[in-house]
């Protein structure tokens, strides 16, 4: 009935976006063929999450039944459209298994339509991943760069001042220049990782060397002002075969994330320990995440902070699992606070 409707047919052909026509069970009865459907499989009868390979759709009952689905923008738009009988617009992030390493980001619009007296929903999904990357670049990367450049300018002024502390200024300029380089390299690595062209470079690394670099990085970090970063001394015999630069990025993201959740006067603790299958690096703070935040914490562009944020937890997951072969996880409870962890295989030296 839907496929023979001239209105629906014209709509599907005219719109340059992923367009799905859903029945009241949210099953696809028609589409314009622009949706990501995997290996030439039919998506008729599937729900949107199943058609786009959403990992949450693997739960019993399929798309819309997992706990994380409660915060899904597409599901909310569809249900709101059916309930109120008017168009509903939202943003949606789909952790798709069809594009490993990153999520699909859409602006979704659900619009009611009647065909021969029966109610359906037209779901439009417009790819906004490029817009989100641009937004993140402007809101975080450029913001951080400008802050670092401002610091460099301030300390350079101290060098020009005859009465200034030249030794202190030189030290600070060196630290800020290294931070500037690291921020640029981090953004470049994230882009390469999402494109699937990042090539890890493994080498032997003593854990103590890594924690020492982390200590230096946060000794004067802006987020660490009025907060303590306590890094426990690791066991001397622990060493890894890994990419030290990527691992440092993961741990840096974990510490930054913890500091942002820590009030002035609070503490972030970092330590590592042996585990049955290797070694774990852990970063803890006293904050607690709501269940809704926990369900979305690793999604790209999701953040409890300002728009354009949300790359920290996403980055640690992407680098830690897709490129370091580890496992990134977290726990968050009122009793023990929030702890992020990356587990990596390790060999124990003498």
At residue 271, the 3 state secondary structure works out as strand
Alpha helices in the chain (DSSP H): 6-14, 48-51, 73-84, 129-136, 142-160, 166-195, 207-218, 244-260, 291-296, 311-317
How many CB atoms within 10 Å of residue 186?
Answer: 21
d(Cα 300, Cα 317) in Å, to the nearest integer?
A: 10
65: tokens are: 């039944």
Neighbouring residues of 277: CB distance < 8 A, sequence distance ≥ 6: 343, 345
d(Cα 43, Cα 217) in Å, to the nearest integer?
A: 49
Rounded to 5 degrees, φ, ψ at 47 are -90, 165
Burial annotation 164-183 (CB, 10 A radius, 16+ → b, else e)? eeeeebeebbebbeebbebb
Could you give the dihedral angle defined by the CA atoms of residues 208, 213, 215 and 219, in that order, rounded to the nearest 10 degrees? 160
Tell me the pLDDT tens digit for each residue of 151-195. 888 888 888 888 778 888 898 888 888 888 888 887 788 778 777
Percentage, residues of the chain above pLDDT 70: 89
Could you give the dihedral angle defined by the CA atoms of residues 46, 51, 57 and 60, in that order, rounded to the nearest 10 degrees? 30
pLDDT at 311: 55
User: Taking 90 as the threshold, does the pLDDT of residue 74 lie above it?
Assistant: yes
pLDDT at 39: 47
- β-bridge mates for residue 264, sequence order: none
Does the pTM exceed 0.75? no
Minimal CA–CA distance to 57: which of 28, 19, 90, 17? 28
d(Cα 134, Cα 128) in Å, to the nearest integer?
A: 10
- The phi-psi region of residue 38 (left if phi > 0; otherwise alpha if psi is between -120 and 50; otherwise beta) is left
Tell me the pLDDT tens digit for each residue of 112-136. 999 988 999 999 999 887 777 677 6
Mean confidence (pLDDT) of the chain: 84
d(Cα 227, Cα 67) in Å, to the nearest integer?
A: 34
User: Taking 60 as the threshold, does the pLDDT of residue 350 lie above it?
Assistant: no
Neighbouring residues of 13: CB distance < 8 A, sequence distance ≥ 6: 32
Greatest mean pLDDT range, 8-22, 120-134, 144-158, 244-258: 244-258
- The phi-psi region of residue 113 (left if phi > 0; otherwise alpha if psi is between -120 and 50; otherwise beta) is beta
């Amino acid at each position: 009935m839907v496929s023979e409707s001239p209105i629906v047919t014209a709509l599907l052909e005219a719109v340059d976006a992923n367009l799905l026509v859903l029945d009241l069970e949210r099953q696809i009865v028609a589409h314009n063929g622009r949706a990501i459907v995997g290996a030439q499989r039919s998506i008729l009868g599937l729900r949107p999450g199943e058609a786009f390979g959403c990992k949450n759709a693997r739960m019993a009952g399929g798309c819309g039944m997992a706990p994380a689905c409660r915060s899904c923008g597409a599901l909310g738009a569809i249900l709101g459209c059916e309930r109120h009988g008017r168009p509903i617009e939202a943003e949606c992030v789909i952790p798709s298994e069809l594009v490993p390493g990153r999520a699909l980001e859409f602006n979704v619009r659900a619009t009611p339509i009647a065909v021969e007296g029966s109610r359906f929903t037209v779901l439009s999904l417009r790819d906004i991943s490029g817009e989100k990357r641009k937004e993140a670049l402007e809101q975080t990367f450029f913001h951080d760069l400008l802050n670092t450049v401002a610091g460099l300018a301030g300390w350079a002024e101290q060098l020009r001042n005859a009465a200034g502390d030249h030794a202190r200024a030189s030290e600070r300029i060196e630290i800020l220049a290294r931070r500037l380089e690291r921020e640029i390299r981090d953004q470049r690595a994230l882009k390469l990782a999402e494109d699937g062209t990042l090539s890890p470079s493994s080498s032997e690394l003593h854990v103590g060397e890594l924690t020492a670099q982390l200590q230096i990085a946060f000794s004067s970090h802006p987020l660490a002002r009025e907060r303590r970063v306590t890094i426990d001394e690791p066991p001397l015999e622990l060493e890894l075969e890994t990419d030290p630069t990527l691992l440092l990025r993961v741990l840096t993201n974990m510490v930054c994330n913890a500091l942002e959740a820590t009030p002035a006067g609070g503490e972030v603790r970092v330590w590592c320990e042996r585990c049955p299958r290797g070694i774990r690096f852990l970063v803890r703070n006293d904050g607690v995440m709501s269940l809704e935040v926990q369900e979305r914490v690793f999604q790209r562009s999701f953040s409890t902070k300002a728009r354009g944020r949300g790359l920290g937890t996403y980055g640690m997951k992407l680098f830690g699992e897709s490129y370091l072969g580890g496992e990134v996880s977290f726990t968050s409870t009122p009793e023990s606070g929030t702890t992020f962890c990356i587990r990596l295989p390790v060999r124990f030296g003498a």
